[in-house]
Amino acid sequence: MIVATRIGHTLMEPTEILPVIAIVSLVTVEFGGHALLRFITTDHEKLGEFRERFFRAGHAHAGVLLLLSLVYLLYLPRAGFSAGLEWLAGGVLLAGVLAQSGGFFLHLAVGAQGARSSGTMVTRIGGLLLAVALITLAVGLIGAA
């Protein structure tokens, strides 16, 4: 049985819609790069070294991990998973991207230098979700070989 999302009259598979979400999310990373550049070039002191460091980390992780997700989603159909498992694996991956990078931004908002915060916890959870998604894909690819 195929699990798909209805958009208009067309049924879309997870590996058709999840890459669109990742690509659209890259636009937010581009906006973040613009905002970071503005902070660095016009109001460097306002942001401060601590916040700038976490802004850069969140921004960089978001961009790199979204690009990773596009490669992941190209390989996902080769694992031979059901559509439901593809939705789950792809969703876990994208949730991991959001949590890992978003945790840096959360920490810059609520955290303090040298101390843990809800942001560092979210970042760690994101890393765990990414690992689960990547191992799931690797196992599927090995099984399909």
**pLDDT tens-place values along the chain, 145 residues long:** 344 445 554 567 888 899 999 999 999 999 988 888 888 888 767 778 898 899 999 999 999 999 999 999 999 999 999 999 999 999 999 999 999 999 999 999 999 999 999 999 999 999 999 999 999 999 999 999 8
pLDDT at 48: 86
CA angle 144, 138, 59 (to 5 degrees): 140
6 within some domain? no
4 within some domain? no
Contacts of 75 (CB under 8 A, 6+ apart): 137, 141
Distance CA 82, CA 53 (A): 41
pLDDT at 46: 76
**Total number of domains constituting the chain:** 1
Boundaries of domain holding 63: 12-144
Name the residue with tokens 């970042």: 123
59 within some domain? yes
pLDDT at 10: 57
Global confidence as pTM:
0.85
Q: Catalogue the E-assigned strands of the chain.
A: 5-7, 10-12
